[in-house]
Amino acid sequence: MKTIIEPFRIKSVEPINFNTREERIYLLGKADYNPFLIHSEDVLIDLLTDSGTSAMSSAQWAGIMRGDESYAGSPSYFRFRDAVQAITGMPDVIPTHQGRASEKILFSILGGKGKYFISNTLFDTTRANIEFSGAEGIDLLCEEGKHPSVPAPFKGNMDVPALRKFITDHGAENIPLVIITVTNNSGGGQPVSMANIKAVRKVCSEFCIPLFIDACRFAENSWFIKLREEGYAHKTPREIAKELFSYADGCTMSAKKDAFANIGGFLAMRDENLALKCRNLLVITEGFPTYGGLAGRDLEAIAIGLEEVLEESYLQYRIRSIEYLTNKLIDAGVPVMQPAGGHAVYLDARAFLPHIPVDQYPGQVLVGALYVEGGVRGVEIGSLMFGKYDEDHKLIPATLELVRLAIPRRVYTQSHIDYVAEVIIEVFNKRDTYSGLRIIEESAFLRHFTVKMVPVM
C-alpha cells in the first residue's frame, strides 16, 4: 500500500518562530510552568489542542465571504441548520459560540443540587458546567478504557451494567440525562462502538432518561466504527454518523473540533419543550435564535465544515496520522495510550516518569520537558486537570496521568510529526533527570488553565 498523503494542497502558510532551548527554559519559568500561559509565538509545534485550530478550506473561506450578517432569519442560519439536521436528524438546532455555551444552557435548565449526570467520561468543561449548577457528574467508563497500555477497539465505551446499577441505586428521577462523549476526549480520544450506544439507549429508554451525545468528534468516531465494528465496513461515514445520532435525544457540539471552524458550536434536540427553554436562555446569554453566539460567516464555515469532515479521504488521512505518530513512539518504547485515538496521542506520564509521585504532577512535568527540549506544547490530562482534595487538603488523584498531544486538523505535515516524535524520544531517553512540581496558586474551577507552579526542590 502507498503512503497515505495529506488530502489537500497548501495555498496559504503561517511562519513558525524558532527559539533556543535556553530561551524556552526562561519562557517556561516565566509562564509558571503552565503551558496555557506561554505565548503561542514562543511555541514551535502547538499541540495544546485540536480545538479551533483547524485549517479551514478554500470553500470555507469562500463561505466566510458569503456569510449574511442579518440579525434575524439569515440564509446562513438556514444553511447551518440544514447541515446539522441532515446529519443528526434533530429538528431543533440552536447555534452557540462554542461547546461550553451549549453546556451552560443545557445544565442550567436540567442541573441543580441532588441531580446526577452520567457519562462514559465527561470532558472538563462539561463536568465544570454540571458542578457549577450544583449537580454531580459521574463517569462510568468501561474497564478496558482504564488501562492505557492495553489495546482494545472501543475503549471509550460506557460500562452498561454500572449504568444500570447507578440508576437503580440513585433513582431515575434524579438523573436528567445520560451523556456519551464521542470520541472520549478525556479518556484518550478513544471511540465508542455503535453497539455500546445502542445498549446505553436501551437502558435509558427503560428508565425514561434522555440520551445526549457530546458530539465534538462524531466524524472521527464514525470512522473508527467503519474500521473496527462488524457490519459497518461498507457504510459511508455519513451513514454511520446518522445512525449514531438516531439513538440520541439531543447533542451538544463544539464546531471547533469536527467542523473545522475556529469558533462555534450548537445544541440540537428532539424535545420541542426543552428546545424552547434553551432558546429562552440563549437570547439572554448568547443571542437571537438564528445566530446564537455567532456571526453569519461562522455559521457558513460550520455548515461547510460539517460536509468536509465526513469525506473518506480526509478521515483516512486524519486517523492514520495519529496512528503514525503513536506507532513511532511504541517502536521507541515510549509508554503511550493504545491503540491510537482519533485526535491526539496520549503519553502515559505515570509510566514515563515513575519516579515522580502523582502529587508532584508527572504529567505537567512531562509537558514542561517537551516544551524545553523541542518547543512542542501539549497539555496535562491527569491530576492537575481532574484531581480533587480530601478534607485534609490531600490530593485525590485522577484515574490516569496522561499528556495529550492534540493534532490540529489539516495543519501540520508529516515532517512536523516526525520532529515531534524525535523530541518525545529525546525526553524519554533522559527521563530520569526531571523532577516534580508543586502548586503555588490555583482557582476552584478548571484550575489547569490558570494554575501557577514551581519545581519541587
Ligand X SMILES: *Cc1c(COP(=O)(O)O)cnc(C)c1O
Q: Does 133 bind ligand X (CB under 6 A)?
A: no
Q: How far is the CB of 125 from ligand X (least distance, A)?
A: 4
Q: Does 402 bind ligand X (CB under 6 A)?
A: no
Q: Does 54 bind ligand X (CB under 6 A)?
A: no
Identify which of 162, 178, 161, 158 has the alpha carbon closest to the alpha carbon of residue 249.
178
Minimum CB distance to ligand X smaller for 98 or for 193? 98
Q: Does 121 bind ligand X (CB under 6 A)?
A: no
DSSP 208-256: T--EEEE-TTHHHHHHHHHHHSTT-TTS-HHHHHHHHHHT-SEEEEETT
Which amino acid would we find at residue 420?
V
Residues 156 and 190: beta-carbon distance below 8 Å: yes
Site string for ligand X, 136-175 (x = CB under 6 A): ----------------------------------------
| Residue closest to ligand X, measured at CB | 99
Q: Does 220 bind ligand X (CB under 6 A)?
A: no
Stretch that binds ligand X, among 74-82, 92-100, 398-406, 438-446 (CB under 6 A): 92-100
Helix axes 21-30, 362-374, angle to 10 degrees: 140
Q: Does 125 bind ligand X (CB under 6 A)?
A: yes
DSSP 413-447: -HHHHHHHHHHHHHHHHTGGG---EEEEE--SSSG
Please identify which residue in 27, 46, 51, 305 interacts with ligand X, judged by CB under 6 A: 51
Q: Does 265 bind ligand X (CB under 6 A)?
A: yes
- Our CA dihedral for 226, 229, 234, 239, rounded to 10 degrees, sits at -60
For residues 48 and 46, give the distance between their C-alpha atoms in angstroms, rounded to a whole number: 6
Minimum CB distance to ligand X smaller for 259 or for 365? 259
Minimum CB distance to ligand X smaller for 257 or for 350? 257
Phi-psi region of 264 (alpha: psi -120 to 50; beta: other; left: phi over 0): left
Q: How far is the CB of 126 from ligand X (least distance, A)?
A: 5
For residues 217 and 220, give the distance between their C-alpha atoms in angstroms, rounded to a whole number: 5
Minimum CB distance to ligand X smaller for 57 or for 185? 185
For residues 151 and 224, give the distance between their C-alpha atoms in angstroms, rounded to a whole number: 14
Q: Please work out the total of residues on this chain that contact ligand X, with binding judged by CB under 6 A.
A: 15
Which amino acid would we find at residue 311?
E
Secondary structure class of 396 (helix, strand, coil):
strand
Please identify which residue in 24, 127, 256, 410 interacts with ligand X, judged by CB under 6 A: 256
Minimum CB distance to ligand X smaller for 49 or for 360? 49
Please identify which residue in 123, 245, 314, 361 interacts with ligand X, judged by CB under 6 A: 123
Which spans of this chain sit near ligand X (rule: CB under 6 A)?
Answer: 51, 98-100, 123, 125-126, 181, 185, 214, 216, 254, 256-257, 265
